[in-house]
Structure 1
Amino acid sequence: MMTITASAITARTVALCLNPDGKARFFLPQKSHWTLYKTGEIVRSGETDRVITFIDCLDPATQYVFEVDTGESFTFTTAECAGRVDIRDFGARTEAANNGAAIAAALASVPVGGALAIPEGRWQTGPLFLKSDMTLHLEPGATLVFITDRDQIPILPAHTAQGDMLGSWEGLPDACYASIVTAIGCTNLEITGSGTLDGAGAEGDWWSWPKERRNGARRARTLFLNNCEAVTVSGITVQNSPSWTVHPLYCHDIEFVALAIKNPADSPNTDGLDPECCSDVLLEGIHFTVGDDCIAIKACKRGDDGSDDHIRPCEHITVRHCYMERGHGAVVIGSEMSGSVRHVTVEHCEFLGTDRGLRLKTRRGRGGEIAHVRCRNIIMQEVHSAIVANCFYFCDHDGRSEWVQSRAPYPVDASTPSIHDIEISDLVIRDVRVVIGAFYGLPEMPIRSVSINNIHASFDNSTEGDVPVMALQVPTCHHVGFSTEFAELNFQNEHEYFPLSIEKE
């Protein structure tokens, strides 16, 4: 029996969750034909192979009935809209080199509860600064493309006038270029539609200075949300990012549903979606194929001088029904986690060709904790190492120092990180090259309370191994089950792995 629920509803779009058995991941076991009714009449029909199905171009404040070919139906009503503002009415033109002024004028005229419409076409623009109580609707065939002239892109300072962190880089306050879509302090905001946000990473020179500054600023993101609440982002494609693709910072009650996030494999630091110091976050039905981590959950990091007034927890994060097709890590926590990352659930997902599957990383000096992480009902295919937890991550300028890498115990203080209460269950892992699991804790703070239940894994037919984590003093592994150091693992019920993969489903 198909269970149908609503994941996200706006005035003109809906994302529905179709789950035939409660265990479906990103793809449905078989395609489903659907029909959409309004006042008893068929208004749309289609076919989907995905658990999260997105529909655009609906009428506001209208009741619809969505029905699948197996007979189940779901009734929903779209939200009201106070008015649609078309950017063309304010002078936006597809041939313009920068539509920023025209789109800003259109945005300013959007009434409370209204929508800014980006119609079909390719629209170049500088950063757009959204406001509360509005919808940005990228209609079918619409593409917003970032300009490449940095002299026309404003720089966000490291701090607001009130002293809060605004711009950032790798967990510390830092000036950065504004994003093509930027929202600061917004509430009740929707970004939706079938269109595309294009960060023009390949067209500019962003990727040629990945760890540097230009004009005193770090690279732009493509979608940046700072200190926002009650935000829905649904349906859109976000691609070709200058650096991190989607970056919510200090946000609460936000959801990202039915997105496609795409960057070239060789584009540096183009993480897919990085919630940082956020709470109550849903990531559902997202297809990732990126140049770095697909999802990286972060909580800032302490400065070299010990400064920590910018760090906050990142907690109550749910990732489900997602497809990580390529990336350095499918779901990563850290290494910037000084504010602590807690209560993370990753479930009903598919990982294909990511270097690591679930990856927890930290180091001495971070402080904070990674705790209460649950990972269940995941399929991983052709991953380097499936599950890794590393407390010796050699990031930052001192990452290879004796203090960070030593296996001798150091005194426990506020800068000592911890990893504990991790639950991993019901995983199918195929064609692993290095290890099923690698857990390396600190001698003074071992990884503890890791529960592993019902793991079925097979290895690939490679002939050479590798180190499973980015740390010194780690042995090379090849077709290893579990490699541990200063870690407490509790195996429950069955777990099994085989020396070589002999078949693929």
Structure 2
Amino acid sequence: MDLKVIYKNARCAVLEIEDGGTYETSRMYRLYLNGKFIRETGNAVTSIYDLKPDTSYQVEARSGEGLVLKSSFTTDSEFVTLNVRDFGAKGDGIQDDTLFIQAAIMACPEKSRVLIPAGTYRIVSLFLKDDVNIELAEGAVLSAYTDRTRFPVFQGMIQSYDEQGEYNLGTWEGNPLPMFTGIINGVNVKGAVIYGQGTIDGNAGDSEGNWWHEPKVIHTACRPRMIFLERCRQVTVQGITVRNSPSWNIHPYFSDHLRFFDLKVLNPKDSPNTDGLDPESCQDVEIAGVYFSLGDDCIAVKSGKIYMGSTYKRPSKDISIRRCCMRDGHGSVTIGSEMAGGVKNLTVKDCMFLHTDRGLRIKTRRGRGKDAVVDGIVFEHIRMDHVMTPFVINCFYFCDPDGHSEYVRTKEALLVDERTPLIKSLCFKDIEAENCHVAAAYMYGLPEQRIERVEMDHVRVTYAASAREGQPAMMDGCSSHICRMGIYANQIEELILTDVKVEGQDGPAIITENIGRVCGSI
């Protein structure tokens, strides 16, 4: 039992309640600040606003059973606040406020705040600045235009003057391609913060300029992200709601020391490519208390396709995801499929997965390359409900123009070469999946380079009474009419099972093929 202050600035603080819960606490709490009641909460990660700079606070979380958790903190100092209204922004939902807000950001000194008060601010693209905090106050909405002609374009790759180097700006699904600038952008920024109780709305479904129409067709450039962070350090995004994104909602790219706390990421279930939060070739990333409900993967950890992976050799690594709720997406937490630089040391803990197609989802394929190594992946204390297939490891993912080629799809062993990816160590511990539909787990490695080790410890899977059939893995040869399958494991070197229970399946609890060693049973 503990109450921690996991983030603070001059105006707000983020609390984390550790009481054995997941995204939600195991009981309700009443929060007190310096002895004054502020509100009730049932969220394990929750924020406190309207604080004063350079001020000491005592915070308590009190349960109805008499449990009292305590912590203390002192807010950061703040030099000045610049109100965007003083720069000409109206927030009336009519005027284009982009220039006025950007002027406030650029004029703001270090360790200061740009305040965006309540109102609807029409914008195109905004750019963050080093060591400046931007507060979206309660009731503030940054409402994006959807007219492509208004948006600048980041070129994919720009050759250096001496023709010996290159500068990458734009990106799309793991390749350096031209893209429209995001709604919020950080490029080579350090120490920026965007926080508050306000909303960023991409308006992607608007009839005037629907970003979701013909999603596979590139019109001038690739669709923008809502928040795009390229080669940034020590950036924090806290509290805000992000909704109706043209494509990926939050896309950190070649960045490190990032924090994402107490966010809401919301898109319609049928919106294309609207991943929630996709760290790509990023390191030292902390994601806590984020609620996702959208049309694609909730979190997808990536590191590019083979050109970016083999050229820059920058994996995504040292990533912590905890106390999040993933709802309605294709995958709750996904690795890949663009993972040519590798993914290492990823921990997912104390999370809820609800009504997603897949829980843990690893998707890769031949052609990602020898640097595409997945290792040190741990999922612990996860609660799933109505997840179609809780565990999917797919080494034959049929993405890209050649996704259905014989090279990608064949189950015959090919030569291991510079194009062959590798999955090493995966651990799934203390996981309960209720009301699943398609399969308890579907794990299929490459015959020429098996998945090295999968460990399942204290895992329980049950099925929905009216389970629906489906395709557990997007790979050729995998039926789309599977229902209530147990654990399917193929091409794994070592499979370790400890206290694993599958209840209510049709057929055997586990099917194993081409397994080097099975330790334990069901």
User: Cα distance, 1:485 vs. partner?
Assistant: 1.7
Judge conservation of contact 1:57–1:139 (CA < 8 Å) in 2. no
Q: Does 1:491 align with 2:489?
A: no
Judge conservation of contact 1:10–1:190 (CA < 8 Å) in 2. no
User: Cα distance, 1:326 vs. partner?
Assistant: 1.3
Structure-to-structure mapping, 1:43-58, within 5 angstroms: 45-58=38-51
Q: Does 1:340 align with 2:355?
A: no
**Alpha-carbon distance in structure 2 between the residues aligned to 1:200 and 1:227:** 27
Judge conservation of contact 2:383–2:433 (CA < 8 Å) in 1. yes
Judge conservation of contact 1:119–1:138 (CA < 8 Å) in 2. yes
- The residue identity in structure 2 corresponding to 1:109 is A
Judge conservation of contact 1:8–1:234 (CA < 8 Å) in 2. no
Q: Alignment partner for residue 108 of structure 1, among 106, 109, 118?
A: 106
**Alpha-carbon distance in structure 2 between the residues aligned to 1:27 and 1:415:** 42
- What is the DSSP-based 3-state SS (H/G/I as helix, E as strand, rest coil) of the residue aligned with 1:494? strand
Moved over 6 A (4+): none
- The residue identity in structure 1 corresponding to 2:356 is T
**Structure 2 residue aligned with 1:81:** 78
User: Cα distance, 1:309 vs. partner?
Assistant: 2.2
Q: Alignment partner for residue 324 of structure 1, among 326, 338, 349?
A: 326
User: Cα distance, 1:466 vs. partner?
Assistant: 2.6
Q: Does 1:293 align with 2:293?
A: no
- What is the DSSP-based 3-state SS (H/G/I as helix, E as strand, rest coil) of the residue aligned with 1:408? coil
What do residues 348-376 of structure 1 show as CA deviations (whole Å, max 9, x unaligned)?
00000000000001000002111110001
What do residues 220-243 of structure 1 show as CA deviations (whole Å, max 9, x unaligned)?
110000000011111111111000
* Greater Cα shift, 147-156 or 397-406: 147-156
Structure-to-structure mapping, 1:30-429, within 5 angstroms: 30-37=27-34, 42=36, 45-69=38-62, 70-95=67-92, 96-159=94-157, 163-203=166-206, 204-215=209-220, 217-303=221-307, 308-310=310-312, 312-367=314-369, 368-429=372-433
User: Cα distance, 1:388 vs. partner?
Assistant: 0.6
Q: Alignment partner for residue 446 of structure 1, among 450, 456, 463?
A: 450
**Alpha-carbon distance in structure 2 between the residues aligned to 1:477 and 1:188:** 49
- The residue identity in structure 2 corresponding to 1:479 is R
What do residues 47-99 of structure 1 show as CA deviations (whole Å, max 9, x unaligned)?
00100011111111111111122332110111111211100001001233311
- What is the DSSP-based 3-state SS (H/G/I as helix, E as strand, rest coil) of the residue aligned with 1:470? coil
User: Cα distance, 1:310 vs. partner?
Assistant: 4.7
User: Cα distance, 1:209 vs. partner?
Assistant: 2.6
Judge conservation of contact 1:8–1:232 (CA < 8 Å) in 2. no
- The residue identity in structure 1 corresponding to 2:79 is A
**Alpha-carbon distance in structure 2 between the residues aligned to 1:500 and 1:461:** 11
- What is the DSSP-based 3-state SS (H/G/I as helix, E as strand, rest coil) of the residue aligned with 2:167? coil
Seen in structure 2, the aligned counterparts of structure 1 residues 411 and 158 have a Cα distance that, compared at 3 Å, is: same
Identical columns (%): 36
User: Cα distance, 1:116 vs. partner?
Assistant: 0.9
User: Cα distance, 1:160 vs. partner?
Assistant: 5.2
Q: TM-score, normalised by structure 2?
A: 0.91
User: Cα distance, 1:311 vs. partner?
Assistant: 5.0
**Alpha-carbon distance in structure 2 between the residues aligned to 1:60 and 1:414:** 54
**Alpha-carbon distance in structure 2 between the residues aligned to 1:463 and 1:377:** 24
Judge conservation of contact 2:303–2:309 (CA < 8 Å) in 1. no
**Structure 1 residue aligned with 2:520:** none
- What is the DSSP-based 3-state SS (H/G/I as helix, E as strand, rest coil) of the residue aligned with 1:395? coil
* Greater Cα shift, 362-371 or 485-494: 485-494
**Structure 1 residue aligned with 2:517:** none
- The residue identity in structure 2 corresponding to 1:76 is F
Q: Say what the alpha-carbon RMSD is for the aligned residues.
A: 1.6
- The residue identity in structure 1 corresponding to 2:397 is Y
**Alpha-carbon distance in structure 2 between the residues aligned to 1:178 and 1:422:** 36
What do residues 237-287 of structure 1 show as CA deviations (whole Å, max 9, x unaligned)?
111100000000000100101000000111110000000000000110000
**Structure 2 residue aligned with 1:11:** 10
Q: Does 1:466 align with 2:464?
A: no
Judge conservation of contact 2:110–2:131 (CA < 8 Å) in 1. yes
Judge conservation of contact 1:300–1:310 (CA < 8 Å) in 2. no
Q: Does 1:478 align with 2:471?
A: no
- What is the DSSP-based 3-state SS (H/G/I as helix, E as strand, rest coil) of the residue aligned with 1:404? helix
Q: Please, which runs of 5 or more residues in structure 1 have no aligned partner? A: none
Seen in structure 2, the aligned counterparts of structure 1 residues 464 and 47 have a Cα distance that, compared at 3 Å, is: closer
User: Cα distance, 1:344 vs. partner?
Assistant: 0.5
**Alpha-carbon distance in structure 2 between the residues aligned to 1:459 and 1:8:** 39
- The residue identity in structure 1 corresponding to 2:327 is E
Equivalenced residue count is 491
